[in-house]
Amino acid sequence: MRILRLLVATLALGPVALSAQVSSAALDDSTRHALRVLGLTADGLQIRGDLTYDDTARVAAGDTLRGPLVVIRGDADIRGAVFGNVTALFGDVIVREGADVHGSATAWRGRVIVEGGRVRGALGARPAAVAAVAKPPRTTGEALALAAGWAAMLLVVGLLALVLSGRQLDETVRTLEQDFSRAFAIGVAAELGFLPLLLLAITALAVTLVGILLIPFVLVAAPIALMGLITLGWLATALMIGRAVFGSAANNDRGALLRAMLPGALLLFAPWFLAAGLQASGNAAVIARAAAFAIAWVAATAGLGAVILARTSRRKAPRPAAAASGWQTPTPIGGVATARRPVPARPETAPK
């Protein structure tokens, strides 16, 4: 009976031993060096049968692997439980959601990526790679909260713009209403020419010592100014949409401007809320975000061009001429060589 048991055990261990010999012969010098640095031996791993070479080792959800797992030139994809250390040489260790590793996770010239699973031991990547914990995907509630936060921030900026520069905002809206296509073309030109103009300004400042000192200020102030103009243009577009859709009165009254801006801004943000609602829909969410970005870009670009046009037309507008009167002060600019105060005629010299 004892001889029979030994014979059965030998037949059972035969394929494992053969696999161990093949795997041991396939190891190159770099792999042996990595095993030696990590304190592992190929023979000890092969006897347990948890060494995978040149392939991806997968532990499916619900499966349990007892003992260390080593993958050479492949990835370790863990979805179940591993009671031991997980090591990948020249590959990544990926701990999926629901996985539980009762040990450490180490990658030699690879990455350790934790996607919602649990690693009870240490995370490490050697010699130069960095272990990374993957950020979980954003939920629908988080996406909606993010869109609502951006909308609230822009509405606050819009209120400040109404208080501080309501007349300029109204002029920008009128420019948009008069020629939207021209404003959009100028906005595109401004966005494309911003970086070359900034580089040209920096080059001109670098000629003098004072200019060199001003370069950091220009590098900070120029992008902030551009973002301010773009924000003002986006608010002007929202105001124009509110006036067009809801028929608000086109005047400079702050209350009327606010009543037109609020619904216009909500309409511009509607695609973003739709994309946030489709966060878990895969390709539909990507398409919705692309459409929302395109709408926001067109609105901001056209508004930027309208801001530039409004400022330019305001500077070119002729100043009203001063009304002529009986008394003029002699000035070289006015060209008045001699000026007299009108004196009423004397009674004795008045014509009869």
- Condensed to tens digits (0 to 9), the pLDDT of residues 255-293 reads 777 777 888 888 888 899 988 888 877 788 889 889 999
Cβ distance 66 to 86 under 8 Å? Answer: no
The SS3 of residue 34 is: helix
Residue 201 pLDDT greater than 80, yes or no: yes
Confidence of residue 139 (pLDDT cuts 50, 70, 90): confident
Which sequence spans correspond to the domains of the chain?
Answer: 2-17+27-133, 140-316
| Poorest-pLDDT segment among 92-96, 119-123, 338-342 | 338-342
Quote the pTM value: 0.53
Angstrom distance (rounded) from CA 238 to CA 252 = 15
pLDDT of 168 reads 79
Q: Please list the helix, strand and coil fractions of the chain in percent, rounded to the nearest 5, in that order.
A: 60, 10, 30
- Tokens of residue 226, six digits: 């551009």
